[in-house]
Amino acid sequence: MTPGILSATTEDGLSLPVIDVTNPAFAVTATDAELATMCDQFVLESRERQEIPAPVRDALQRSMLGRGLIAASGTFLTGMDTYLLKLGPGNLGAEASPIDRRIAASFPALMTRVRLQDMARLLADGLSLTAAANPRRPFCLVNIGGGPAGDSWNALIHLHAEHSNLLVGLEIGITVLDVDDHGPAFGVRALQALRAPGAPLSGLEIGFRHFKYQWSRVDGLREALAGRHAADAVCAVSSEGALFEYGSDTEIAANLETLHEGTAPDAILVGSVTRDGEAMRALQSADRVATRPRTLEAFRSLAEQAAWSVQHVIERPFSYNLRLVKHRRVAG
């Protein structure tokens, strides 16, 4: 493990770095122009890409990252497999193979790291404004399909570093709603490391709860929000690489409706929407993950129907990373 980087253990006993996007070891500093150039190269190479030969597929099956990508074909990448992609090639550890490092250095993996940075920044900026308008309320961070909830803890790292007195003495809770146990279990241990003396979240009282959740069954979301008193708290909901990327229009609408009803009027919602475009089509031809590309206009319309407005958008090659706020419903 690189000196100065915190670590936590997975359910399988593997020690992994705890991602802190403010740490240069994890931060992506590429400019928009540089990312655009890399994207063009990725699309060009995808046109020349052929079917994966059997020996290469066998090698992928034996690698940490390759196994997850192959298992995700036709379905979704798990929270922990996505977390591994976000570590970057220099932070994978001795267990990583050369293939793992090549995958971690790829353009799609880089954009997964950028997406985490965007989510954390969008959350932190939204929360700082909400908390300033009505201070000393409890903080409630709800993470849908969030696995370890790295975007939630990185938002808190931003806030604690930039507004030193904002979180001290507050009741802070992270609630993860995810079908899988492994990601949230790692998230608990990562948060323990982050709250240790001298660590980025030292001195803060932060609870972490996991609810098993399938977003086609919104009663579970409704119960989780009520249990966390989200209607009375400074509330930020996030779904990075999850609901808005894999969910159907009906599922997204039902979750947005439930979130509108169960959170405070000044709640914010941050998420990534799979972007319909050439870059995404090139990616899907390679990994065959079952995301559902949408135009920004289509998602904006879907959100408006549930009384959410898109407040801020960061356009990336594979996704729209955005923050939403509530608006009043129009009768009739």
* CATH number of the domain residue 284 falls in: 3.40.50.150
In a domain, 35, yes or no: yes
pLDDT, residue 60, reads 66
275 and 129 assigned to the same domain: yes
In a domain, 1, yes or no: no
43 and 131 assigned to the same domain: no
256-284 pLDDT, tens digit per residue, is: 999 999 999 999 999 999 999 899 988 87
In order, the DSSP letters of 242-295 are SHHHHS-HHHHHHHHHHHHHHS-TT-EEEEEEEB-SHHHHHHHHHH------B-
The answer to whether 195 and 201 are in contact (CB under 8 A) is yes
CA distance 330 to 117: 35
Q: Which residues contact 120 (CB under 8 A, 6 or more apart)?
A: 21, 150, 151, 154, 155, 157, 158
310 and 185 assigned to the same domain: yes
* Domain interval for residue 143: 115-326
54 and 98 assigned to the same domain: yes
Average pLDDT for residues 71-93, to the nearest whole number?
83
101 and 121 assigned to the same domain: no
- Residue 29, sorted as left (phi over 0), alpha (psi -120 to 50) or beta, turns out to be alpha
199 and 279 assigned to the same domain: yes
Burial state string for 253-263 with b = 16 or more CB within 10 A and e = fewer than 16: ebbbebbbebb
Average pLDDT for residues 233-245, to the nearest whole number?
96
Average pLDDT for residues 187-205, to the nearest whole number?
96
Sign for the CA dihedral angle at 287, 288, 289, 292 comes to: positive
Q: Could you say which DSSP state residue 218 is in?
A: T
In a domain, 244, yes or no: yes
Domain total of the chain? 2
In a domain, 2, yes or no: no
What does the mean pLDDT of the chain come to? 90
pLDDT band at 7 (very low <50, low <70, confident <90, very high): very high
Strands in 139-144's sheet, in edge-to-edge order, are 206-211, 172-177, 139-144, 234-239, 268-274, 319-326, 308-315
State whether residue 8 is helix, strand or coil: strand
Two tokens, residue 322: 């955005």
180 and 100 assigned to the same domain: no
pLDDT, residue 88, reads 94
In a domain, 11, yes or no: yes
In a domain, 264, yes or no: yes
303 and 263 assigned to the same domain: yes
Two tokens, residue 107: 């353009």
**Domain end call among 90, 111, 132:** 111
CA distance 255 to 239: 11
> What end-to-end distance do the CA atoms of the chain give, in Å?
59
43 and 100 assigned to the same domain: yes
139-180 pLDDT, tens digit per residue, is: 999 999 989 999 999 999 999 999 988 999 999 999 999 999
**Domain end call among 82, 111, 140:** 111
206 and 256 assigned to the same domain: yes
In a domain, 332, yes or no: no
In a domain, 221, yes or no: yes
Burial state string for 202-228 with b = 16 or more CB within 10 A and e = fewer than 16: eebebebebbebebeebebbeebbeeb
**Domain end call among 111, 126, 153:** 111
249 and 207 assigned to the same domain: yes
pLDDT band at 331 (very low <50, low <70, confident <90, very high): very low
pLDDT, residue 332, reads 41
Q: Return the residue matching tokens 């279990």.
A: 185
The answer to whether 186 and 10 are in contact (CB under 8 A) is yes
Sign for the CA dihedral angle at 97, 101, 102, 104 comes to: positive
Average pLDDT for residues 74-95, to the nearest whole number?
85
317 and 192 assigned to the same domain: yes
